[in-house]
Amino acid sequence: MQNDLVLIFISVILGLLIGAEREYRNKSAGLRTFILVCFGSCLFTVLSLKIGVANPDRLAANIITGIGFLGAGVIFKGDNKIEGITTATTIWATASIGMAIGSGYVYLSLLGTALVLLILHSLTYFEKFIDRKHKIREYKISVINAKEIPHCEELFKKNDLKFVVSKQQYTQGNLATSWIITGKNTNHEALMKDLMEDEKIIAYQF
């Protein structure tokens, strides 16, 4: 009994560490969520081993199903990409840590927590590096008529950006075109400056 309480306490501490990282980054699931996920997974695993003697994996196996529904709740569609997948997979990984603690594999759970925090924190800098070199944005640019489309393309080429038309909308004399633009972040910044100063561009947004 005392050993089980220690395991539950450890699960709360490890859940708190991961939750603090997500809370710091203001993600959709924060401190309390990760503490409860880790604690709940640990407790269910302990109960599975105690009351499911004949079939100890019965309760533990259903943890994965429950975590799947929970993770789906934090995934949503942003402007041009899916948001919340990292948080959802972190919930999934935290559940596995809780299960490892409940099964008595404390050192394995500590290693798992360290790896989760390393991946969430350190790889952020690598992602930013990639983003600077290969930034993808969706621009919505409004011009007076279709004759100005080649002019927009010239601006993209001038700033060494790859482009493709996503969709077009004509409203009351204005033609709004959505472009998927790819290139270095510095080139995007130069493009925005050109768009603001160009008299042929009525409006733009991204």
Q: What is the CATH number of domain 134-205?
A: 3.30.70.260
Of residues 124 and 177, more confidence is placed in: 177
Domain boundaries, given as residue ranges, for the chain: 2-131, 134-205
pLDDT at residue 2, rounded to an integer: 60
Tell if the pTM clears 0.85, that is, is over it. no
Best CA proximity match to 2, nearest among 52, 59, 46, 53: 46
Residue 109 pLDDT greater than 90, yes or no: yes
Separation CA 206–CA 76 (nearest Å): 19
Q: What is the pLDDT of residues 16-29, one digit of tens each?
A: 999 888 888 777 77
DSSP 112-174: HHHHHHHHHHHHHHHHHHHHHHSEEEEEEEEESSGGGHHHHHHHHHHTT-EEEEEEEEEETTE
- Residue 53 binned pLDDT confidence (cut-offs 50, 70, 90): low
Q: What is the pLDDT of residues 58-87, one digit of tens each?
A: 666 778 777 877 777 777 766 556 677 888
